[in-house]
Structure 1
């Protein structure tokens, strides 16, 4: 066996046992172990700690031991696989090990296979998965509750339209990819598309129809009908990432650009048409199709992601002063994108000492975060911009009445804009003896710096 055959063999075992493929670190462990590398060598290649590489390997050896019915460990991994390799079988296409049958690149567990219905086998053989544009996951952090929620909505409640929402960098796409990795066998068709550089809904529908290998009819209405025929016949999971790019800049959140109005019809049709498929929308902004006013009439679910609050997110970033890591995470609102950027700055300037950085007593905004927040500010409507500037100038929480008076706004403009800012996850409503509004701390600091530098 060569290393590619080994990776393929182990990947199929993992799919059979876990319902997902090997991630990048697990692939590195398999490849490195086959080539007799140390865990330290593997860790350096993946930019992780040696201990983390060892933990991943230990879990993998346990899984392979259960799958093959042998005690697999680093020291005997290669010799064991060579012993059961296809080269030792009289049939060069078949290898048998403890009732696990290896047919070329496919592994089937015989007892499980016999217990499955024939339609399940047919579904597996005809499955189509296109995850080319989906992110790769090396480490998944502390989103088990959200994963369970997403699984319940799709697998138990059969919700056709789900939106995963939150600020840029919060981990929306990683969460959805993790769900897919754990549930690959549940869907005949999985397609991931990005709207970062959006195309018309007509072209998107053409793209989705290609999975059926049917002749695409020229009339758009007929094409939409063909698509929903597929959604009824097959268990499909369609993911549309970066949905906020079809919304207008300088307007309230979730307003469609003229050339992308047909997406609104497409999303509504998903809700109104009976089918066995699911569409997940990933966005920084909530539009009205993403809101659930009546769960019985409109089967829509919104999963809004907040920041992470766990030190594991900093485990492999080379920082020191672990007792202060949670302080750093809270300062940057648990946003993985922010935390990764500030961690790099701390390594470059403070040699990784978090305590020395925190002693600066300033919420530093690295350049990449500034660029991200500038793009977000540019998306705001003029009235939203006035509100965030006002909120950034105040050291206290600000009431709706204070905003209305100081900015001379009508009730309609103020209420719509505050709601829109909440739909962008920039402003939080704080309840108490009086309702007040709070601007994101990171965004607030960015706005202060902009005011000083006239940016």
Structure 2
């Protein structure tokens, strides 16, 4: 029986089903989707490929896939499937799981046989319905088997339609939209008029055709029931339309050979009436009298359950007249309006496919065209198409024709290209030369969705005046208003940018206003003391846009703008290094900006800025604490100290302090102490303002206290850290207080005052949590581990230490990570 069962099911299982099942199980277990490389390994294994083949086809090393990704994937699948999974048995395990799920559903519906599987021999007759037409394992509703109706049955059922052919037999994704549309088209739903809206090429027509072809195939269905095949009406499962009328304002077709005209189609209200008359059977009684024709059509429609589809509504003439007609149709008619523009009807709005859905569609299209695509190239296509089905299909066809990815990108984004002319030109013609056009140009320079205020400033348009024009852009599906920001689809953005490039004067004006907006914005919300806890919520919300502005200014060699922007945002980059980001990766961009500033400060002979940025680079590299980083930091600090006369005294104190920290990192405590003494000597100068001097004094004391602690002089260390707490409280420096208390707790642990240590650490941890400072939390958790070890609670100590390890690892603080891992070994 098992051979017969597997013969029936295994050949019909697609990788789409496999990925859907596995990804759903992984998400339910871990809250995360499979990564791209895990999908790649699973897909290759499903195809029977060895690790070496998968690695070679996708530009990965064999060792990486075989010794790292593969074992972790099989371990993950073992957890979610609750049985041992290996590369050798994964296909059999998943096939069995899919089979078990199907059997469970069949039994719940009373459709399974006594032996637990469908007896295919008993369902064969002259109306063949078995493997050739496939048991639809991935069809969720009703577990039905579709098949072609016999000639006699077709004559009995008189569903009339004029539907066009579909480009695809099955949609990828769109499950939510599909179910929503089915619900709206149901006779139980009171909505008679609906619309499918979205950008050109997003798949609106494909969605409605997928639905209506289900109606067509489901007008009679063959349903499995107690080992017999029984004809049943669709009943409640699908709307029982008697006529499906398709009309379209489409004027052109987009093909791989270019844009070609559509010779037949509807242009206006009269054309739509003629098409309706032809399908419902009253074409022969049409006269020159509009009222009589309208009455005849209304009468026929009132006696026939009808679905009227109007595709490409935005291209039709006499739109108001058509809408008026649709509102007056009888209750026996459901209307589906397909439009790039917003309509007054209940809408199903389409956006791009998800990454997983896009990758599935790319693979299906590639397989149909005989092309083999690795994951890397598939991801490139996803990136340039943004999940738009028409763009994906076009990209695959160009790839088959021998075009490179770079060339395909150019074809898709150029305003002169066929794709942009077909899908964007019509909408742009509606607004060119108007305020809405200026707003769209301004929107396109933002890499991430901007606020209304930002768009209006960059477009140089008053917010009140802009309101209607922004609404117009939304109506044209060129933008979406989402959570107080305006979203422009990436392909639309690239098209608008290419269009704007043809007007250099306009482009320069828009870009200048864009740069100035973010200079003002970062000046207002940045420029803070990075050593203290600050609210950077505004900078965080705009960080991707700010980064884009800096990169653009670097590309255009706008030295002064980059200098000003960097000074405004450097506080935020430090904050992220101790709050939530991995400084080893996150600071790459900032270090790149500093390197560019170093080169250009020399070029423009700007000595003050030159030593400022090389010292900044040295400090960031010191905090990263890697051997190569520390070596580079040493050279930069040496160079900066030699040029210190170009900077203020307080800046020199800060530099001496940072050099002392560098020596502490190298465990050169005596040299570190000498540099702190230099810093104190400079601080005695009357040139340093008192408000700055007190903070610098606290910094110096903090690192002197750390040196005393590390050399075992707990008494002097305690005195310094208590002084820090007292001084910091007078100026409200909360972060300094918290870090000092962590050291006071460590000293209390060493001296056996565990109760005092507990009080200090509990307070410090709560304050750090309140300020989202993961770095300080990690130090405090490590101290709590030491406290619990002293109490003899080794399990609790290990738990605290492991929490600290995870935090240090997340922040890229590898020295602290290794020290804490050594503690865990000691506890064990």
TM over 0.5, shorter chain: yes
Partner residue in 2 for 1:140: 171
The Cα shift of 1:68 comes to 2.5
Distance 1:145 1:210 in 2: 34
Identify if the C-alpha distance between structure 1 residues 436 and 135 changes in structure 2 by more than 3 Å, giving closer, same or farther. Answer: same
Partner residue in 2 for 1:179: 211
Residue 189 in structure 1 maps to residue 243 in structure 2: yes
Tell me which of 407, 424, 427 is aligned to 1:376. 427
SS in 2 for 1:261: helix
The Cα shift of 1:241 comes to 0.8
Tell me which of 228, 241, 248 is aligned to 2:311. 241
SS in 2 for 1:183: helix
Which 10-residue stretch deviates more, 226-235 or 405-414?
A: 405-414
Deviations 1:128-164 (A, max 9, x none): 2222x45343342122222211111112315311111
Distance 1:230 1:398 in 2: 51
Identify if the C-alpha distance between structure 1 residues 161 and 73 changes in structure 2 by more than 3 Å, giving closer, same or farther. Answer: closer
Partner residue in 2 for 1:224: 294
Tell me which of 271, 278, 283 is aligned to 1:210. 278
SS in 1 for 2:501: helix
Identify if the C-alpha distance between structure 1 residues 107 and 68 changes in structure 2 by more than 3 Å, giving closer, same or farther. Answer: farther
Partner residue in 2 for 1:281: 337
Deviations 1:42-84 (A, max 9, x none): xxxxxxxxxxxxxxxxxxxx9998462889667xxxxxxxxxx
The Cα shift of 1:326 comes to 4.5
Deviations 1:202-247 (A, max 9, x none): 342233123444433543234333322223211011111111102x
Partner residue in 2 for 1:261: 320
Distance 1:174 1:388 in 2: 28
Identify if the C-alpha distance between structure 1 residues 338 and 65 changes in structure 2 by more than 3 Å, giving closer, same or farther. Answer: farther
Residue 308 in structure 1 maps to residue 353 in structure 2: yes
2:453–2:463 CA contact under 8 A, matched in 1:
no
Identify if the C-alpha distance between structure 1 residues 199 and 343 changes in structure 2 by more than 3 Å, giving closer, same or farther. Answer: closer
Partner residue in 2 for 1:106: 152
2:185–2:334 CA contact under 8 A, matched in 1:
yes
1:153–1:159 CA contact under 8 A, matched in 2:
yes
Q: Cα RMSD over matched residues? A: 3.6
Residue 343 in structure 1 maps to residue 396 in structure 2: yes
SS in 1 for 2:328: helix
Q: Aligned ranges for residues 367-406 of structure 1 at < 5 Å? A: 367-372=417-422, 373-380=424-431, 382-395=434-447, 397-406=449-458
Identify if the C-alpha distance between structure 1 residues 211 and 429 changes in structure 2 by more than 3 Å, giving closer, same or farther. Answer: closer
Bigger share in strand: 1
1:363–1:445 CA contact under 8 A, matched in 2:
no
Distance 2:427 2:149 in 1: 52
Structure number with larger C-alpha Rg = 2
Distance 1:264 1:312 in 2: 38
Distance 1:103 1:139 in 2: 20
Identify if the C-alpha distance between structure 1 residues 450 and 210 changes in structure 2 by more than 3 Å, giving closer, same or farther. Answer: closer
2:441–2:459 CA contact under 8 A, matched in 1:
no
Partner residue in 1 for 2:199: 167
> Unpaired segments of 5 or more residues in structure 2?
1-118, 133-147, 220-239, 252-265, 505-828
Deviations 1:153-198 (A, max 9, x none): 1123153111111111111111111111111222111111111244
SS in 2 for 1:163: strand
2:306–2:333 CA contact under 8 A, matched in 1:
yes
Which 10-residue stretch deviates more, 215-224 or 175-184?
A: 215-224
Partner residue in 2 for 1:5: none
Relative to the length of structure 2, the TM-score reads 0.35
1:65–1:71 CA contact under 8 A, matched in 2:
no
Tell me which of 481, 489, 502 is aligned to 1:429. 481
Deviations 1:396-440 (A, max 9, x none): 543222333444435554111111212222223342xxx332322
Distance 2:481 2:245 in 1: 36
Deviations 1:232-264 (A, max 9, x none): 211011111111102xxxxxxxxxx5x443112
Residue 320 in structure 1 maps to residue 373 in structure 2: yes
Identify if the C-alpha distance between structure 1 residues 276 and 448 changes in structure 2 by more than 3 Å, giving closer, same or farther. Answer: same
Bigger share in helix: 2
Distance 2:243 2:493 in 1: 43
Structure having greater relative contact order (Cα 8 Å, sep ≥ 6)? 1
2:450–2:485 CA contact under 8 A, matched in 1:
yes
Aligned length: 320
Q: Aligned ranges for residues 350-369 of structure 1 at < 5 Å? A: 365=413, 367-369=417-419
Identify if the C-alpha distance between structure 1 residues 364 and 415 changes in structure 2 by more than 3 Å, giving closer, same or farther. Answer: same
Distance 2:122 2:413 in 1: 48
